Structure 1
Amino acid sequence: MKGLEELKDKIHEILPDLDLVIGWEQGYDGLHATPLFIKTPEDVDRLIIGPLCVHNLATYLPGLKDKKVGVIVKGCDSRAVIELLQEKLINKDNVVILGLTCDGVINLTKLGRKIGSLGAVDDVKVEGEKLNVVIGDQQHNIAFSEVKQDKCENCIYPNALVFDHFIGEPVDRVENVGAEHQSLSDFEGKSFDQRFAFWKHEMSRCIRCHACRNACPMCVCRDHCVAMTRNPHWLSQENNVAENWMFQMIHVMHLTGRCVECGECERACPMDIPLMLLRRQMNRGVREVFDYEAGIDAQNRPPLLTFKVEEDNISEREW
């Protein structure tokens, strides 16, 4: 992601007409970025962009719908903005979108496996195709491609799809984009018994912290979430495989036709559960049945928020 000075100049220009602009700043060490809420010109100096800026800032927009807000978005983040606009969960008149092009963001779990520990990282720089990680007197040079988030491997939309101001120059798609993600192909090569055993193991590790739900830009009913309601009482607080699996299935089904595969659920999970496997499989079904992909056209409607007497790809009368 390039164009930091251009981005800062644009924020200085539009900030007087807004309540705030949401971006990223350096976190508690050289490895982490954190969301930045820019309210004054002095705040702009703290802004950063780059492969550490993993958060999908669109997640904050529904909670700020009564304010005039600027938001910085990467390609996948912009799809979440489009989906929020489609569902009228935000008002476009109150949102100024600053679009970026993205070369990929870091997966901290992958990086931790490479360098052994994520503690006390002093600095991280991208130098060409290499990632330079400085820890004290040690430097680790790692191929950036080896520590990118999985969602970046098959990224179809590196440029923001919706924007009021685009920063930098758009990039072309890389080769082989749009192919089915390898993790899904590998998983579906297993037998049903193997798949079931896999998810039983993963759900046994879930601590039901709701981080996946809280990080998701499309989970907007958190105060009335079925995972917490007591009338009706869908889920108990018991932490076991059945209850955890029920929670995840409800979450996935509520995202049917709405998930933009930004990967925030999986990134936020403290147990590194591969939640995107469920989302990718669901999204493939939506593409095959409804010929629809979430977060592409703000004038479109998610298929499960519409009704057609006869669906084009469902032939129930022939059953």
Structure 2
Amino acid sequence: MPVLEGKELRIVGFLCNWCSYGGADTAGVARAGQPTDLRVIRVPCTGRVDPLFIVKALLEGADGVLVSGCHPRDCHYAVGNFYARRRLEVVREFLPVLGIDQRRFAYTWVSASEGQRWQEVVQKFTAEIHALGPAPRLEDAKPLLRLADMALSSLHPLGTGQKAPLDELKAAIRAKLPELECVIGWQQGYDAAHVVPLFMKTPEDVDKLVWGPFNVNNPAVYLPQFKGKKVGVVVKGCDSRSIAELLQEQLISREDVTIFSIPCEGVLDMARVNTELGRYTKIDGVSMDEAGVTITADGREHRFCMTECAQGKCYGCTTPGAVIADQRFGAPVEVTPGAHTPPELAMLDAMSLEERMGFWKAQMERCLRCYACRNACPMCVCRDHCISDSREPHWMSQADSARDKLFFQAIHALHLAGRCTGCGECQRACPVGIPILALRQQIARAVGNLFDGYKAGIDPAAVPPLLTYAVDETHIHEREWK
């Protein structure tokens, strides 16, 4: 391939200082012809390449990104590229959900003595980028607003929890309360159709505890704040997964937390409920049966069936019972085995790359940048040092652009790789209803596909896949050109 043909494109290369940078230097000394599109950034090790480097480069206008380092088993730092291999494969699977062609990113291994191989690698990758042409820009995408189809069948029966043994639960909490700082649960909010967190410290507080389809909040988000204190928490199945993940990461201590559990039959999508209710003066009453909820507002009745109005996460829930608990109440719920794609993710799967980019542009233009998604996430525990607020390093600006907002969502999603338990608090807390859970679900799907079906928050003793490595990966082929 000639050194330069036609229009030069923008390709960013992250090269390991000890191997691939040396290989590029060897090719240069040998006067091996190389395309001039590549802009090289030297890094100490591919293990130092944060997946956010790739996403930021592609969102900021790069037409392609290449990462190259030492061959596995030949790393200057022993295992840096083993960790990198897992991270890079996950980010490669994540890019399409943003509307970015994954062929615009590649990673490979070139040693310092392989000048000829480096020449072949960079020429081949550059040729592929030229064949793809200039990368589409988020700013130029045509906005697309589309709603997910929620008409899905669930893996277990959905209901309102009318037969839940709430009195037994309250009695157990009262008995345990003297030993605890507090017990976290739910209570009625500003009206009978909304529920807020409850911190029970006295027997009178326990009387306020409620259970049902309005218990949408995840109480696990508060546990890190009580680290070192004895606390109790009432959980749904998805909430317990968050606790298991917090235990995995040693963000809480098992001996400090008492877990009370009742099997969950699903919770309502409160965004849809509030939309249906519209503007009202007061809630006149709420009645429930096993199939759904009837809310009377300003004299008008509104019916919400659980099979139609549950949160999207409930349809594919495989853990209606807690994965970890000290005291369990109620009969277990049977789950039907089978694959299930969340509705928002299924909607994105059906789109082209251009449509996905337009979809996220339209959604991010609606974003208020209030960070409610971050604050509600039980696994987002570094909010006092959040990358979105940091100026050292200066990852993000405060510009009110769709690109900056989408990059923040990519940061949040990638920081949850192998950690997100799918509780849906990020999407539930969003005041404008952006389906950002789909980004986390795509990451979870990629992690599951790459690492033998791994799911976060199932086994407190497990090691998250991105915090470890395997010399011989089952689903990652180290010498295959990506």
Q: TM-score, normalised by structure 2?
A: 0.64
* Aligned partner of 1:307 among 469, 472, 475: 469
> Are positions 1:185 and 2:318 aligned together?
no
Alignment deviations for residues 184-217 of structure 1 (CA, whole Å, 9 cap, x no partner): 2231111111111001111111111110000000
Q: How does 1:135-214 map to 2 (within 5 A)?
A: 135-173=297-335, 175=336, 178-214=339-375
Aligned AA for 2:439? L
Aligned AA for 1:70? G
Identity of aligned residues (%): 47
* Aligned partner of 1:129 among 280, 285, 291: 291
Distance 2:476 2:317 in 1: 29
* Aligned partner of 1:11 among 164, 173, 183: 173
Alignment deviations for residues 159-195 of structure 1 (CA, whole Å, 9 cap, x no partner): 111000002111111x465412233223111111111
> Are positions 1:35 and 2:191 aligned together?
no
**TM-aligned CA deviation for residue 76 of structure 1:** 0.4
Distance 2:231 2:197 in 1: 14
Aligned AA for 1:280? Q
CA contact (8 A) 1:154 1:176 kept: no
More displaced 10-residue stretch of structure 1: 253-262 or 137-146: 137-146
CA contact (8 A) 1:156 1:178 kept: no
More displaced 10-residue stretch of structure 1: 116-125 or 284-293: 116-125
Distance 2:382 2:291 in 1: 41
**TM-aligned CA deviation for residue 119 of structure 1:** 5.4
Alignment deviations for residues 230-267 of structure 1 (CA, whole Å, 9 cap, x no partner): 21111112221111011111100000000011000000
CA contact (8 A) 2:261 2:329 kept: yes
CA contact (8 A) 1:112 1:118 kept: no
> Are positions 1:103 and 2:280 aligned together?
no
Distance 1:103 1:317, change over 3 A: same
Distance 2:443 2:281 in 1: 36
**TM-aligned CA deviation for residue 99 of structure 1:** 1.1
**TM-aligned CA deviation for residue 282 of structure 1:** 1.0
Q: How many positions carry a matched residue from both structures?
A: 318
Query: Unpaired segments of 5 or more residues in structure 2?
Result: 1-160
Distance 1:278 1:316 in 2: 26
CA contact (8 A) 2:216 2:267 kept: yes
* Aligned partner of 1:278 among 422, 439, 464: 439
Distance 1:262 1:254 in 2: 16
Determine the structure 1 residue equivalent to 2:146. none
CA contact (8 A) 1:122 1:134 kept: yes
CA contact (8 A) 1:31 1:122 kept: no
RMSD: 1.5
Distance 1:160 1:207, change over 3 A: same
* Aligned partner of 1:21 among 154, 160, 183: 183
**TM-aligned CA deviation for residue 304 of structure 1:** 0.8
Aligned AA for 1:268? A
Determine the structure 1 residue equivalent to 2:412. 251
Determine the structure 1 residue equivalent to 2:155. none
Distance 2:215 2:394 in 1: 38
Aligned AA for 2:297? I
Q: TM-score, normalised by structure 1?
A: 0.96
Determine the structure 2 residue equivalent to 1:69. 231
Determine the structure 1 residue equivalent to 2:245. 83
Distance 1:60 1:146 in 2: 30
Distance 1:185 1:40 in 2: 46
* Aligned partner of 2:221 among 50, 59, 79: 59
* Aligned partner of 2:282 among 120, 124, 132: 120
Distance 1:35 1:234 in 2: 34
Query: Unpaired segments of 5 or more residues in structure 1?
Result: none
Distance 1:264 1:209, change over 3 A: same
What secondary structure, in the 3-state scheme, does the structure 2 residue paired with 1:122 have? strand
> Rg larger in 1 or in 2?
2
Distance 1:267 1:142 in 2: 17
Distance 2:410 2:344 in 1: 19
Distance 1:269 1:177 in 2: 30
**TM-aligned CA deviation for residue 44 of structure 1:** 0.7
Distance 1:151 1:75 in 2: 12
**TM-aligned CA deviation for residue 98 of structure 1:** 0.5
What secondary structure, in the 3-state scheme, does the structure 2 residue paired with 1:316 have? coil
Distance 1:136 1:318, change over 3 A: closer
Distance 2:338 2:179 in 1: 39
Determine the structure 2 residue equivalent to 1:294. 456
